[in-house]
Amino acid sequence: MAKHFKEIMNDITTFVFDVDGVLTDSSVFVTNEGEILRTMNIRDGYAMKAAVESGYNVCIISGGSNEGVRVRLRNLGIKDIHLGTPDKVVTFKEYTDLYNINPEQVLYMGDDIPDFHVMKLVGLPTCPQDASPEIKNICRYISHVKGGKGAARDVIEQVMKVQGKWMEHFSGKHD
């Protein structure tokens, strides 16, 4: 019998997130100059910063590339930011090899076809409520929250609560 997703959460040491459709709502704003702007959820940022400060590995793997996104994620304390990634599986394997991370201890949140193959490699594949059907079919947990609206916060908070770390360190300084 397969483990319940809450049991798997006990073993999670690493969070990996896609950007578009997970940390954003998949929408982009295009300026007259052709600059692409995205919005990100403050609660997702708060939770990612809390995870970093609590000793979890947090990694971003995205096919898209945007300097504003990189700056935002760095400001949250995330060091492993892989934007413009042509092959997420290769990037994921390089990341887990570099830090000697067991893929079974990884929670990956993705939302669409480019995440499919890498999500099959992890212990806890998850997705936002509005992910593609193909992704939902392989997930052990589907958030009740849409991408860009707090889905990352949902999974981080659940893992940290299961492990007894959620309220341990908050100081009110997170953004």
- Which residue's entry shows tokens 């959460």? 9
Please indicate if the annotation marks 20 as binding a ligand: yes
Please indicate if the annotation marks 44 as binding a ligand: no
Consecutive H or E run containing 60: strand 57-61
CA dist 123 and 12 (Å) reads 8
> Which DSSP category does 70 fall into?
H
Please indicate if the annotation marks 130 as binding a ligand: no
User: Where does residue 162 rank: exposed (0-12), middle (13-18), buried (19+ CB within 10 A)?
Assistant: middle
Would you state the structure tokens that stand for residue 92, as one six-digit string?
A: 């994921």
User: Where does residue 51 rank: exposed (0-12), middle (13-18), buried (19+ CB within 10 A)?
Assistant: buried
Nearest to 172 by CA among 16, 44, 49: 49
CA dist 83 and 7 (Å) reads 31
Binding-site residues for substrate, in ranges, read: 20
Binding-site residues, in ranges, read: 18, 20, 111
Binding-site residues for Mg(2+), in ranges, read: 18, 111
